[in-house]
Amino acid sequence: MDFINHQLFIKDINVHIDPILPKKTAIITHGHADHARFGHDHVIATRQTIDIMKIRYGDKCAKKFTPLRYGQKYSIKNYDFTLYPAGHILGSAQVLIEKNNHRLVITGDYKVGKDETCKNFKLVKCDTLITEATFGLPIFQHPDPKDEIQKLIRSVKINKNNCHIVGAYALGKAQRVMNLLRQQKYNETIYIHGSLEKLCQYYSKEKINIGKFEKVSSKDKNFYEGKIIIAPPSALKDRWSRRFPNPIICMASGWMTVKQRAKQQGIELPLVISDHSDWNELLDTIKKSKAKNILITHGQEDALVYYCKKQNLVSKPLSIQGRSDEEIE
Amino acid sequence: MKKFSSLLHNLILTPSRNTKIKLLQDYFNKLDINRSYALAILSDQLSFQFIKASKLRELVYEQVDQHLFDYSYDYVGDLAETISLIWPTKKEGKSQNLSTLIENIKKIKKSEINTEFSKILSGLSNNERWTLIKICTGGLRIGVSERLVKTALADLYNKSVNEIEEIWHGLEFPYQNLFQWLKNETSKPKIDFKKLFHPMMLANPIDEEKDFKRLDANEFQAEYKWDGIRVQLMVSSKSVSLYSRTGDNISSAFPEIIETTKGDAVIDGELLVGRNFKPSGFNDLQQRLNRKKASKDLQNKFPVFIRAYDILFYKGKDLRKFSLLERRKYLEKFQKENKTNQIDLSSIINFSTWKELTKYKNNFHDDLNEGVMIKLKNSEYLPGRKKGYWYKWKKNPKLVDAILMYAQRGHGKRSSYYSDFTFGVWKESELVPIGKAYSGYTDKELLVLDKFIRNNTINKFGPVREVKKEIILEVAFDDVFTSTRHKSGVAMRFPRIHRIRWDKPVNEVLTISEFKKEFKLS
Ligand SMILES: [Zn+2]
């Protein structure tokens, strides 16, 4: 595993995984902005990740694209690369790198729980596991998302004169919330912030059931009473949200586990819906991967490093630039 | 318990006062025994002697790895919430009534507390667990004042909030008489006012720019603001009792006051340590605080007295609707009739313009007062911090420039920021910490400091980050003492961040010996 450095760079063949700055060859795990950037020469990723990058940054965001199917091997010199589903968002992938019989997996962002909006996580056995740790503390034990979405549906029923604005990341979380609402038989039109439109259209095109949606427009104020509106978290605080009648501010995020955090952000109805693994899922994945060497990328790495060492696993944190905690999508 | 814990959950997350009132009213719509407990909890009148924070930590360490707990606590910043989240989820039991649950807890024998209380915690949902721990450790901090609860009850049952306020301190759990009156089943509860603690009248900080232009100096009188603890002394022919500002009975800690006071009155004053009515400083007073009892030796070493500011009752007569000037006459009369070595009067400062008062505020010959109080001469004695009657005008704080050394995440609502700062001054070529501050900065300054800390950490010691020594903080503080417990040999009183000194290079910060010299410490 000496072939890859703490910036996830393989010098030997000049390949980066999820680089922050423009590079020659970049393998991209998924479309979130802290992983997928503009301006690489050559992007290797799943077809869906490439589509998403083009939607977000334009068709020319890289000079060359190589789409890979899950499980399809791609070789550069004596390095073999294979992408496996990460269960994080549509198109998200883990990267398996094989060299001289050493198997190294970079999970990217991942979650183990079921999700109808993307292919479910596949466990890949390996010698070295580079895992994320966004929710790497034992306080994070994500509840069943169905129960969380029911809270929203119940609140909509009770508070008929209010509109509910749900903060959710534009890519992945927003569509997951919509899909969960559909699973729970909420069949009304869902209203979305303009910045979500293209991605929602893309999810629909990819046959993900997010149901009927419509961009918020300057309708009569009272029109939105009793409706659900989905918007990126940044829009919750600005003037955009003030146009709605008696809004109840909701947020769908794993961070909502902590009441104090919800309160700081002015969230009245926190929904603990996460696209990252919780503590137990992180531990389970580490165990089942059979890896003896655990490197931890971004998030709350201290507790996880401590835990791994206690299990006699070689473990250390990797501090990747540009990904500070709590800004992770 | 489910209902009450979701009430607390919603209250903490609701910013709007009106919604809070509505939530409270939905809950108190019914007045049963569970609501009695709820009211006691919301007004902070229920506590469990033997389940304190330290006990809860002990219990949680039996369940989870101590390091993992500490990492989590450092992240969450709130003990109740950390424990409620990290507690290994057992099968949730059948939800119990709030009243049954609390009575069951009260019945637990001290010797069985660990197993029994753990069992109860395991049977609850996260949110119920959070609620129960909050109840046990006291001080809910959910953004709901006692006043708001009273307002919600008053509106719901068509009473005036002042009526509830008046009888409040005479009510006792389970508030049977209050509930019956609210439901119009009986008349208003009769309370013997003389026996009760009366909520104190408090002052608002003066806004030098606005208020002095607006207010007529002739309508106000001034007194020194003494640096002790505010007390209420209740004396009658039958008994004498002493209460703290929050209404706690602290009589047993100050026997010399209780034994010597005579007369029939309710007095408002400042408790100070000193001989012959010469206060000797807050440091000395601290030797007497937080002790339930005082030995003869302690009484001799640190004798206390009360400097009286005001009088609320005189020989059974309620003076609270009288003006301050009239009350002062009664106060002087009381003192003359009942002279002791334990009570003197706060003196009145003569001044005719605000400018004249400034020199009293800043140039008082010693450090034993914190500034001046400015009181409207014809103010009634009104409970709480009502605007427009009493003001406090604090002395300019002492200031020192120090270098930011370490930072830690804050607790409570600041827990996602690095908001606790340790700062120091030079000792030869090294820095030595002189204090720690977690307030005083603006929101904007906090963001800047937080960002600096995240990007300039050079070392981590558990939750503490050591940062590059580049930022100078101007620290304001009320006082500084010599201390053997601190490496620097000094301890500050109420240090806070005054501003960030972008303009000053770090090598111009004082050395510890210069610092001691400047603030007259040996
Ligand atoms: Zn992501």
Residues of chain A in contact with residue B86, where contact means CB-CB under 8 angstroms, are 138-139
CA A165 to each of CA A159, A257, B121: distance values in angstroms, whole numbers, following the listed order: 13, 19, 34
All structural domains of chain A, each given as residue ranges with its CATH number in brackets, are: 9-139+276-328 (3.60.15.10), 145-271 (3.40.50)
The verdict on whether omega for the bond into residue B495 sits within 30 degrees of 0, i.e. cis, is no
Token couple for B244: 């703290």
Q: Do B377 and B447 belong together in one domain?
A: no
Residues of chain A in contact with residue B15, where contact means CB-CB under 8 angstroms, are 266, 268
Quote the minimal CA–CA distance from A57 to chain B in Å: 28
Q: Do B408 and B433 belong together in one domain?
A: yes
Comparing CA positions, the residue from B450, B464, B462, B458 lying closest to residue B416 is B450
Q: Label residue B4 left, alpha or beta by phi (over 0 means left) and psi (-120 to 50 means alpha).
A: alpha
Q: Are the Cβ atoms of B64 and A138 closer than 8 angstroms?
A: yes
What are B34-39's contacts with CB under 8 Å, separation 24+?
B34/B3, B34/B4, B34/B97, B34/B98, B34/B99, B35/B179, B36/B99, B36/B173, B36/B174, B36/B175, B36/B176, B36/B179, B37/B4, B37/B98, B37/B99, B37/B102, B37/B174, B38/B4, B38/B7, B38/B98, B39/B149, B39/B175
B193 within domain boundaries: no
Q: Are the Cβ atoms of B85 and A141 closer than 8 angstroms?
A: yes
Integer-rounded Cα Rg, in Å, for chain B is: 26
Q: Are the Cβ atoms of B75 and A260 closer than 8 angstroms?
A: no
User: Where in the sequence is the domain holding B11, given as residue range(s)?
Assistant: 2-137
CATH code for the domain of B128 = 1.10.3260.10
H or E stretch including B214? helix B208-214
B293 within domain boundaries: yes
Q: Helix (H, G, I), strand (E, B), or coil: what is residue A134?
A: coil
Integer-rounded Cα Rg, in Å, for chain A is: 20
Q: Do B412 and B328 belong together in one domain?
A: no
B177 within domain boundaries: no
Give per-residue pLDDT as tens, B76-91: 988 999 999 999 876 6
Q: How long, in residues, is chain B? A: 522
Give the residue ranges of DSSP H helices in chain A: 47-57, 145-158, 173-183, 197-205, 233-237, 259-264, 279-289, 301-310
Q: Are the Cβ atoms of A137 and B68 closer than 8 angstroms?
A: yes
| Distance (Å, whole) CA A273 – CA A285 | 20
Q: Do B49 and B16 belong together in one domain?
A: yes
B152 within domain boundaries: no
Q: Do B377 and B390 belong together in one domain?
A: yes
Quote the minimal CA–CA distance from A229 to chain B in Å: 19
Comparing CA positions, the residue from A41, A64, A61, A63 lying closest to residue A53 is A61
ipTM of predicted complex: 0.92
CATH code for the domain of B319 = 3.30.470.30
Q: Are the Cβ atoms of B413 and A264 closer than 8 angstroms?
A: yes
B156 within domain boundaries: no
Q: Do B429 and B309 belong together in one domain?
A: no
| Distance (Å, whole) CA B237 – CA B234 | 10
Instruction: Please count the structural domains in chain B.
Output: 3
Q: Do B363 and B274 belong together in one domain?
A: yes
> Residue A325: what pLDDT?
42
Q: Are the Cβ atoms of A306 and B68 closer than 8 angstroms?
A: yes
Q: Do B209 and B315 belong together in one domain?
A: yes
Quote the minimal CA–CA distance from B258 to chain A in Å: 44
B171 within domain boundaries: no
Quote the minimal CA–CA distance from A266 to chain B in Å: 7
Comparing CA positions, the residue from B229, B221, B184 lying closest to residue B324 is B221
Q: Is the pTM of this model over 0.90?
A: no
Give per-residue pLDDT as tens, A195-238: 999 999 999 999 999 999 999 987 777 899 999 999 999 898 77
Give per-residue pLDDT as tens, A126-147: 999 999 999 999 999 999 999 9
Q: Do B352 and B437 belong together in one domain?
A: no
Q: Helix (H, G, I), strand (E, B), or coil: what is residue A313?
A: coil
Q: Would you say B138 and B47 are in contact if contact means Cβ atoms under 8 Å apart?
A: yes
CA dihedral A179, A181, A182, A187 (to 10 degrees): -140
B26 within domain boundaries: yes
Gap from CA of A88 to ligand 1 centroid (Å): 7
Of B335, B361, B394, which residue sits at a domain end? B394
Closest-approach residue (CA) in chain A for B84: A139
Of B137, B159, B188, which residue sits at a domain end? B137
Q: Do B19 and B131 belong together in one domain?
A: yes
Of B361, B394, B427, which residue sits at a domain end? B394
Q: Residues 6 or more apart from B198 whose CB is under 8 A from it? A: B169, B232, B266, B312, B320, B383
- Of B68, B130, B416, nearest to A264 by CB-CB distance is B416
CATH code for the domain of B457 = 2.40.50.140
- Of B71, B76, B454, nearest to A302 by CB-CB distance is B71
Residues of chain B with pLDDT under 70: 47, 49, 90-92, 139, 192-195, 363-368, 412-414, 522
B328 within domain boundaries: yes
Residues of chain A in contact with residue B9, where contact means CB-CB under 8 angstroms, are 259
Pairing of strands B390-394, B369-376: antiparallel
| Distance (Å, whole) CA B348 – CA B358 | 15
Inform me whether the C-beta atom of residue A317 falls under 8 Å from chain B C-beta atoms.
Answer: no
> Residue B416: what pLDDT?
78
Gap from CA of B114 to ligand 1 centroid (Å): 42
Comparing CA positions, the residue from B428, B369, B404 lying closest to residue B495 is B404
Q: Mean pLDDT, consecutive 10-residue segments, chain A of 329 residues? A: 84 94 96 94 98 96 97 96 98 97 95 96 96 94 96 94 94 97 97 96 97 88 91 86 87 94 91 96 96 87 91 81 48
Q: Do B348 and B390 belong together in one domain?
A: yes
Q: Do B382 and B410 belong together in one domain?
A: no
Gap from CA of B480 to ligand 1 centroid (Å): 50
